Amino acid sequence: MGMSPKRLVVVGGVAGGASAAARARRLCENCQIIIFERGPHVSFANCGLPYFVGGEIAEQDELLVQTPGSLKTRFNLDVRVNTEVLSIDRQARRVKVRESSGREYEEHYDALVLSTGASPLKPPIPGIDRQNHFTVRNIPDVEKIMNWSRGCERCRAVVVGGGYIGLEMAEQLRHRNFRVTVVEALPQVMAPLDPEMAAWLHAELRANNVDLHLNDPVAAFEAPTAAEPARASIVVLKSGRRLPADSVILGLGVKPEVGLAKNAGLEIGQRGGIRVNEHLQTNDPRIWAVGDAIEVRDVVTGQWSLIPLAGPANRQGRIVADNIFGRPRRYDGTLGTAILRLFKLSAGCTGANEKCLQKAGRAYHALHLHPNSHAGYYPGAEPIALKILFAPDTGRLLGAQAVGRDGVDKRIDVLATALKAGMTMNDLAELELAYAPPYGSAKDPVNLAGMAAQNVLAGDVRLAHWHELPVGDAVLLDVRRADERAQSFIPGSVHIPLDQLRFRLNELPRDKEIIVHCLSGQRSYYACRVLSQYGFRCRNLTGSYRTWQAVKS
| Nearest in space to 246 (alpha carbons), one of 162, 154, 128, 184 | 154
Measure the CA–CA gap between 61 and 67, rounded to whole angstroms. 10
Measure the CA–CA gap between 194 and 200, rounded to whole angstroms. 11
Cis peptide before 470 (omega within 30 of 0): yes
Measure the CA–CA gap between 8 and 399, rounded to whole angstroms. 38
Cα–chain center distance at 17: 22
Measure the CA–CA gap between 336 and 345, rounded to whole angstroms. 20
**Active site annotation includes 28:** no
Q: Is the CB of residue 348 less than 8 Å from the CB of residue 395?
A: no
Counting every residue written for the chain, the total comes to 553
Q: Is the CB of residue 416 less than 8 Å from the CB of residue 337?
A: yes
Measure the CA–CA gap between 531 and 428, rounded to whole angstroms. 28
Catalytic pick from 47, 155, 349, 518? Answer: 47
Distances 458 to 99, 346, 393, 529 between C-alpha atoms, Å: 65, 32, 11, 13
CA dihedral (16, 21, 26, 27) positive or negative: positive
CA dihedral (390, 395, 396, 401) positive or negative: positive
Angle between helix 195-207 and helix 544-552 axes, rounded to 10 deg: 60
Which residues are catalytic, by number? Answer: 47
